[in-house]
A and B are shown apart, each in its own frame.
Chain A
Amino acid sequence: MAVKNSEVMTINMGPQHPSTHGVLQLILELDGEVVRKATPHIGYLHRGVEKLSEHRTYHQVIPLTDRLDYLAPMSNNLGYVLAVEKLLGITDQIPERAKVVRVLLAELTRLKSHLVWLATHALDIGAMTVFLYCFREREVITDLYEKISGARMTSNYFRVGGLSADLPAGVEQEMREYAESMPAHIEEYEGLLTGNRIWQKRTIGVGHISAEAAIDIGITGPGLRASGVDWDLRRDNPYSGYEDYEFEVPVRQEGDTFARYKARLDEMRQSSRIILQALDKLKPGPILADCPKVVLPPKEEVVNSIEGLIHHFKIVTEGFDVEPGEVYQGIEAPKGELGYYLVSDGSSHPYRMKVRPPSFVNLQGLPQMVEGRLLADVIAVIGTLDIVLGEIDR
C-alpha cells in the first residue's frame, strides 16, 4: 500500500487558550488528527514564590502560599502552617477547635476546587449547563470564605499555631445546610453527565494510565486513586486530626478520564460527610496555641497593656526564630499530594522553602496520556488532570 501524505504538522495550543486552564502552552505534533508528540511549556506564571519566601518571616509567607493553587487557597495555607508547626515542634499543642476548623475548611476547599474542576472539565467537553450549576454551588463557598477570612479567594486565614480569627456567628449553620444539600447537587451533576452518551464517549478509555506508570511519573491524589492505588494521606499519614473522622477513600480501577471523574465526585460526597462530622465536633475553645513566642497576643492585651503591645510589635516586625532543621510535610490537597519542604538555619526566615505542587507533577503525565490519541482528547485530558498554573509555575 502506498504511503499517503504523512506530513507532521506542529501546532501551538496555548498559552492563550481557554481549555488550557491558564497559561499552559502545548506544542503538538499532529499527524492528521492524531497527536504524535506533545510537549508542555510552562513557566509563564512564575513569580518566584520560593525565592521570595527566603526573604520573608514565617508568617509573611502565608499570603504567598494561597496564591499558588488559587482554586484551593486554604489547602495551601494548611500545608504550610503544618510544616512550620512541625519544624517548631508544636504540632501537638494546636488546640482542638483550631484543628477541627482546619479540617472543616480544608474539606470545604476540596469541594470548591472540585466544583471548578467539574465545571471547566464539562465545559471543555461541551456541557455548558454543568458549568453554571457548579459555579452556583461554588459561589456559596466563596461567600462563606468571605465571611470567615474576609477574602473570597486569597484567604490567608490559618496561622502558625492556629487560626487568625474565630468563625463568625452563624456560619456553622450555613455550612451544615450546605453540606447537607451537597449530595443532592452531586446527584444532579451525575444526572447530567454519568449516563450521557456524549460524555461517556469523550471520557471512557480516554487518557488511560496504569497504576505503575502513574506512580513512576508521580501522579497523586484522585488521579492515582482512579488507577487502582488505594492511598490517601488523610487516612494513611493523618494530620490535623483526620484520624478521628470516618470517611471512605474512593478507588476506581479503570484509570481513564471517566474513572477520575467518578472518583472525584465520590470524594465530594465524602467531603460533605467530613464537614458534617467536623461541625458536630466543633466545641467552643481557644483557637491559638499557647506558644507566646510564636502566636500573636489577644487584641485586648495589645490595646490595654504595654507588654502586650511590645509582644505584638516584636512578632509582627521580627517574626519568630526557628531552631535549625528541616522537615517535609505532605497533605492531601484536592489535586494530590501537596508538600512543603522547609529548611531552617535558626533565623526568623525560611532558609529554603520548596513547594511540591501536585499539578506540576501530574502535568508531567500528560504526554503519556495523549500521545497516539486524537487532538480532541487532549482537551479532555487537560481537564481531567485538574491543573492550576499558579501552583505549577509558582
Chain B
Amino acid sequence: MSDLAIVEKLKAKFSSEVIDEVEFRGETTITVKKDKIVDICTFMRDTGGFNLLCDLCSVDYLGQSPRFMIVYNLYNITTKERIRLKAPVDEQDGQIDTVSGVWGTANWMERECWDLMGIDFVGHPDQRRILMPADWEGHPLRKDYPVQGPDREPYQGRLS
C-alpha cells in the first residue's frame, strides 16, 4: 500500500477506473483505464498537487494485450513526491486523449510518443513527427521494428 494520500482519494473518486496499484522500490504506480485519462490527470494536478509532468512515454508490450502502455511520471513540487500513472492502449485502437491541456509539457512528449511509437493522441494541437523526418514511415521504438532499420540486413559482426 502506498503512503501517498492521493492514492485513496483517486480510488474513491475514480473507483471504476483504477485497474491496478503497484508498489515497487518505493515508487507507486497506478494503472487506470484510458477513457477518463484527462479527468484523472486534471484531478491529479489540481487535488493531488502534481503540477509537474516529468515524463510521458509509452512502452510496447508486443504479444500482450493490450499492447501499449502510456506512462505518466508525475511530480509534486510542493511535497516533493512522485507518482506514476499508466494507461493501457489496445493495438487496434491505438489512441488516447491528449493531456497537453493539463500540462503544457505534454505537447512535445506526446509528439515524440506519436513519432516513435505511433500512439495517436486525440485532440493534440500539433501532432507531427518530432525526432524523425516528416516523411519517415513506421515508428522505430515499436518492438517489431528492426533495430538496424527497415530494408537492411541485420548486422552480422565483422567479416574480416
**Residue ranges of A at the interface with B (Cβ–Cβ < 8 Å):** 42-43, 46, 48, 50-52, 54-55, 86-87, 89, 213, 215-218, 220, 229, 231, 236-237, 325-328, 330, 337, 339, 341, 343, 351-352, 354, 356, 360-361, 364, 393-394
Contact = CB atoms under 8 A, between A and B. Distances in A.
B11 interface: no
Nearest to A393: B131
A51 B104 contact: no
9 contacts: A42-B130, A46-B132, A48-B147, A217-B104, A339-B55, A339-B73, A341-B57, A341-B73, A361-B105
Contacts of A351: 59
Contacts of B158: none
Given A48-B140, A229-B77, A325 B147 contact: no
B73 A231 contact: no
A356 B131 contact: no
B54 A330 contact: yes
B103 A218 contact: yes
A218 B104 contact: yes
Nearest to A353: B57
Given A51-B147, A364-B105, A43 B131 contact: yes
A332 to B, nearest CB: 12
A354 B57 contact: yes
B128 to A, nearest CB: 10
Given A87-B25, A218-B52, A354-B55, A328 B82 contact: yes
Q: Is the interface of B mostly helix, strand, loop or mixed?
A: mixed
B67 to A, nearest CB: 13
Contacts of A352: 57, 59-60
B80 interface: yes
Given A325-B25, A354-B57, A356-B54, A236 B80 contact: yes
B53 interface: yes
A231 B105 contact: no
A87 B147 CA distance: 25
Nearest to A39: B126
Contact of A218 (B53, B130, B133): B53
Contacts of B24: 325-327
Given A43-B132, A356-B55, 16 more contacts: A43-B129, A50-B141, A87-B25, A218-B104, A229-B77, A231-B77, A236-B80, A326-B27, A327-B24, A328-B82, A330-B54, A341-B57, A354-B57, A361-B105, A364-B108, A393-B131
B6 interface: no
Contacts of B60: 352
A341 B71 contact: yes
A141 B51 CA distance: 37
A86 B25 CA distance: 7
B54 to A, nearest CB: 6
Contacts of A341: 55, 57, 71, 73
A50 B60 CA distance: 13
Nearest to A229: B77
Contacts of A54: 147
Contacts of B25: 86-87, 89, 325, 327
A46 B112 CA distance: 12
A137 to B, nearest CB: 32
Given A218-B104, A364-B105, A356 B73 contact: yes
Interface in B110-143: 116, 129-133, 140-141
Contacts of A236: 80
B104 A43 contact: no
Top 5 closest pairs, chain A to chain B, by CB: A218-B105, A43-B131, A356-B55, A354-B57, A216-B104
Interface string B38-58: 000000000000011111010
A43 B136 CA distance: 12
Interface in B62-83: 71, 73, 75, 77, 80, 82
Contacts of A354: 55, 57, 71
A326 B29 contact: yes
B51 A42 contact: no
A52 B141 CA distance: 10
Nearest to A91: B25
B59 A360 contact: no
